[in-house]
Chains A and B, each alone.
Chain A
Amino acid sequence: MGTADVEAVWRIESARIVAALTRFTGDFGLAEDAAQEAVAEALVSWPLASPANPAGWLMATARRRAIDAIRRRAALQDRYALLAADLAVDSAVDEGIDPDKIDDDVLALMFVSCHPVLSPEARVALTLRVVGGLSSEEIARAFLVPVPTVQARITRGKKTIAAAGVPFELPPAAELRERLGGVLSVIYVIFTEGSTATSGDRLLRPDVAHEAIRLARTLAALQPEEPEVHGLLALCELTAARFPARTGPDGSPILLEDQDRRLWDISAIRRGLAALAKASTRGLGPYGLQAAIAATHASAPSVEATDWDRIVVLYEALGRVAPSPVVELNRAVAVAMASGPAQALAIVDALIASDRLPGSHLVPTVRGELLARLGRRPEARAELELAARLCANQRERSVLLRKAATLS
């Protein structure tokens, strides 16, 4: 067995192993360290002799390393601590993964990794590492940051969890909805990093987006009663369904109106619609509404044949449950399609007057488009050139400049 085989087993087992170890040691940081030691040992020993049961081998080795760590720690403290540790260890040694508890433990692990005491970057890094089973190198590649940066975020994150005394348990019922929202937003941040790279020379990084989809699927299986979990999953599936049509052969972005809809992934659309149906049981939340908008696009044969009135209504609803200037801007785009560019321009100008999206390239991008449609070409060109100066993604920038050039 080679490195890739060890990584494959780890991808499948990491969440369960770290969750089970945290349950029995009560120490998330120690559990994660022990699990990483087991993986490091596997990388050395499996190529020489493959274990008959790789998953069991990893769990047993990680548990031994955790016990070693507890003993070392106890030896530094007093005899009573040692006794207490031995008791805890002895009762836990015979325990493998408890099938009745493991689902809740994996869920608790997601809540710890996305805990509000952590910095947003640490939440992303810890979730991908312990729940997703990615290495620091893979996380660094996904977010275009140096490996030591990722390692530092994980180390600091574990210290923060320990210092804050975060318990390893499901949040109390009164906090559950809010904490779940925290987990969903971490998954969505990972997804958007893959679906619209904030920097770099590539628009899409589908592998990163798929890590988020995998996490969302796991969460949907563990929290099937929560509509917004299905809403997020639906949004990710429906957005990812368009990936094959979103970039040209040279990697340049292709706008929705120019996409070859035959390239959309029909299976992903079907999965997204199924998830959206589960999200719709009790009125849609912010993710469900965005998924419903994506579903309206996914079901339309062309831009012209899209139900823009429905999209306007969905954006209005989204603006009520999750007000944001970006939602307002998107509503303007939908209004332009449903009722014409003049009404949409009024919305955009109100947005600029309130200065709620300063420095964003999106506002001049949309304003430029609307002005172009109104035949105000010199103003449109100036807006698109401004948008290009503000845009950080090279691929998007060149599209804006090309469009501005056609207006001279």
Chain B
Amino acid sequence: MPKYLLIMRGTDESNAAMMADIDEMMATTRQFIEEMVKAGVLLAAEGLDDPGQGVVVDFSGEAPVVTDGPYGETKELFGGFFLVDVASKQEAVEWAKRVPAAPGSKIEVRRVPGSDEVPQVDE
């Protein structure tokens, strides 16, 4: 069964909307997680801290450059993920539609290839 990562991408506005009623958001998210567990599809789920607390390690130059704060000029920031084990891409999309996401945010659905699909390097 293929695995998919449901990547939550929020904007400053959607993050602010979510924080405004964080208790409600936490409760609906817990309920959603429970639903996925009972359906036998959830492998992992995590949410990330405020992007302002993050650090960026930039490999553009010869040596990595470390800067504080959110990643570049990107408007949509990675805020958390659900890793699901489902029958099809369509099922992953159907679960993505059910994520209790704040208005303005987006969810990117990406397939995780199996370990037998990744080219192996012989040593």
A residues with CB within 8 A of B:
4-5, 7-9, 11-12, 54, 103, 106, 206-207, 210-211, 213-218, 221-222, 243-244, 260, 262-265, 267, 271
Contacts and interface: CB of A to CB of B under 8 A. Distances in A.
28 contacts: A5-B90, A5-B93, A7-B87, A7-B88, A8-B88, A8-B93, A11-B87, A11-B91, A12-B39, A12-B91, A12-B95, A54-B94, A103-B38, A207-B1, A210-B1, A211-B1, A213-B85, A214-B1, A214-B39, A215-B40, A218-B38, A218-B40, A221-B40, A244-B114, A260-B120, A263-B115, A265-B115, A267-B43
B115 A244 contact: yes
A262 B85 CA distance: 22
Contacts of A4: 88-90
Contacts of A265: 114-115
B38 A222 contact: yes
Contacts of A221: 37-38, 40
Nearest to B42: A217
Contacts of A9: 94
B90 A7 contact: yes
Contacts of B93: 5, 8
Nearest to A244: B116
A271 B43 CA distance: 9
Given A7-B88, A271-B43, 17 more contacts: A8-B90, A12-B94, A54-B94, A210-B1, A210-B85, A211-B1, A217-B40, A221-B38, A221-B40, A222-B38, A244-B114, A244-B115, A260-B120, A263-B116, A263-B120, A264-B115, A267-B43
Contacts of B91: 8, 11-12
B2 to A, nearest CB: 9
Nearest to B123: A262
Contacts of B37: 217, 221
Interface of B: 1, 37-41, 43, 85-91, 93-95, 114-116, 120
Contacts of B89: 4
- Could you tell me the dominant secondary structure of chain A's interface residues? helix
Nearest to A2: B90
Contacts of A12: 39, 91, 94-95
B40 A214 contact: yes
A157 B74 CA distance: 56
B95 to A, nearest CB: 7
Most buried by B among A5, A221, A260: A221
A215 B1 CA distance: 13
Nearest to A131: B40
Nearest to A3: B90
Contacts of B88: 4, 7-8, 11
B36 to A, nearest CB: 9
Contacts of A267: 43
Contacts of B40: 213-218, 221
A103 B37 CA distance: 12
Nearest to A222: B38
A218 B39 contact: yes
Nearest to B94: A8
Contacts of B43: 267, 271
A244 B85 CA distance: 16
A262 B115 CA distance: 10
Contacts of B114: 244, 265
A242 to B, nearest CB: 11
A217 B43 CA distance: 10
A263 B117 CA distance: 10
A127 to B, nearest CB: 13
Contacts of A263: 115-116, 120
A56 B89 CA distance: 21
B115 to A, nearest CB: 5
Contact of A214 (B85, B94, B115, B116): B85
Contacts of A217: 37, 40-41
A8 B38 contact: no
A218 B35 CA distance: 10
Given A210-B1, A244-B115, A263-B120, A5 B94 contact: yes
B41 A214 contact: yes
A208 to B, nearest CB: 10
Q: Which 6 A-B pairs have the closest CB atoms?
A: A217-B40, A8-B90, A210-B1, A214-B40, A244-B116, A8-B91
Nearest to A247: B116
Most buried by B among A210, A213, A215: A210
